[in-house]
Amino acid sequence: MLTEINFDGIIGPSHNYAGLSLGNIASANNAGSVSEPRAAALQGVAKMRANIALGLAQGFFMPLDRPNTGWLQSLATDVASAEPHLRAASFSASSMWAANAATVSPAPDTADGRCHLTVANLMTMPHRSHEWTGTLAQLKLAFADERHFVVHGPVPAPFGDEGAANHMRLCERHDSTGVEIFVYGKAGGPFPARQHVEAGKAIARRHGLAADRTLFIQQSETAIAAGAFHNDVVAVANESVLFTHEQAFEDRDGAYAAVRAAFPAVQIVEVPASAVSLADAIKSYLFNAQLVTLPDGGQALVLPSESQEVPAVWQWLEAMVAGNGPIRRLVPVNVRQSMANGGGPACLRLRLVADPATVDPRFIATPGKLDAIEQVIAAHWPERIAPGDLADPALAETVRAARRALLDALDLSALA
C-alpha cells in the first residue's frame, strides 16, 4: 500500500559549526561555536522515534564518508594541507538534511507509474556540492527495485538544484494523483538564489509529470534576503493543505491563483506578516516543520521547540489549532543542534510516497533499529568538535571509525 515515508538523515559524527552556508542566518550566527555531534545525532533519533509513536512510517539515511578526501584530491590538496575553509567543507555533515538529497515524484504522478527520484546537485555551496555522489549511491541501494523506482543522476551545471526543500506536492491523499510545485529563486539581495527554474523543469520532464499538474512558482526575493534560503523555510504542503507565510512567494496572488486552478481542493493556511514577521518565522523555523497526516486523518505540525520561544509565533499557532482549520495538533521536538546550523525538522527528512515493502528494509526504521543506532552513537560519536579540531588527524580517524561502526551495525557496509 502506498504511504508517506519520512527518511531522516542520521546526523553524522563530523557535525560542526564552520559557518559555511551563505544566506543561512543560523549557520552564520553560530560559526565558530563548539558542536556536540553525539547530542545532535541522539536528538535526531529521538525525533524519528517520536514520529513512529505518532503512527508514521519512518526511514533513515546514513551519514556520508567524511572528510571527503577524494574531493580534496580533485582540488590538489589533502586534509593536512588544505586551507581551513576547504578542510571544513570536506568535513561537512550537511547530508543530514535529507530534504536536500533529492526531488521525489511518487508513482501516481508519473507517466510510467513508478516513483522517480532525482539526486540534487547542490552546486551553489562548495561544502554541499560534493554530496551528490554519496547520496546517489545510497538512493540507488535503498530504492533498487526498478519495478517501482527510477533513480536519476543530478541536473547538470549551471542549473542549481537543492532538492525537495524547494518542492511541494498537493493531493487528496498521498496515494492519489497530485499537483507538484517547483519553487525557484531569481535573486535574494545579498544572498544567492539556490534553486534554478531550469532545474525544476528538467526534473519535471525526467519524471514524466503532466503539464497541467505541474507548477513553477518564484520564491520571494524578500524572503531569500531575510534568510529563507530554501522554500521550506517559509512554506510547506501536505495532502490538500498549503501552509505558508504571506511573503513566501514573489507574486502571492498569482501563486495562489495558479495553485487553486491546478488543485481546486487546496486549503491555503496563510500566516500574515502582520502577525508573524519574516524575521520571526525564520528565527523560529515555524514552516520548517513536518506537516504530516496522522493515522486518524488529522494533520499535525512536527515543529522545532524554538517555535515555543517566539511569542508571536506560538500565539498564532495556538490560535490556529484552536480553530476549525485543517492543522489540529502541534508536536514540538528538540533538534537544537541541527537548528543551530540552520536545519529544522523538515530539513532532516526526505518525504517519499511508496509501499514500504518495496524499499530496501535496511533503510526502514523500527524501535529496535533505533536502539542499535543510539548505541553506536553513544559509543562512537565525538562529544564535541571545535572548529580548530578539524585539523587534528585523530578526529578524521574517529569520524571514519564511527561511521564504519554504524554501517556494520545496520548491515550497510556496501556504502563504506
pLDDT digits (tens, 9 = 90+) for 197-223: 999 999 999 999 999 999 999 999 999
Q: What is the C-alpha separation between 43 and 336, in angstroms, rounded?
A: 8
Catalytic residues: 162, 230, 347
CB under 8 Å to 38, separation ≥6 — which residues?
A: 377, 378, 381, 382, 383
pLDDT in tens, 263-304: 999 999 999 999 999 999 999 999 999 999 999 999 999 999
CB distance 278 to 25 below 8 Å: no
pLDDT in tens, 254-264: 999 999 999 99
List the binding residues: 18-27, 100, 127-128, 194, 232, 341
Which of these, 98, 127, 262, lies nearest to 182 by C-alpha position? 262
Domain of residue 247, residue span = 3-415
CB distance 243 to 296 below 8 Å: no
Set of cell numbers at residue 386? 571545535
| CATH, residue 178 | 3.75.10.20
- Give the Cβ contact number of residue 116 at 10 Å: 24
Q: What is the pLDDT of residue 269?
A: 98
User: Averaged over 299-320, what is the pLDDT?
Assistant: 97
Q: What is the C-alpha separation between 231 and 54, in angstroms, rounded?
A: 26
Q: What percent of the chain has pLDDT over 70?
A: 100
List the binding residues for substrate: 18-27, 100, 127-128, 194, 232, 341
**What domain count does the chain have?**
1
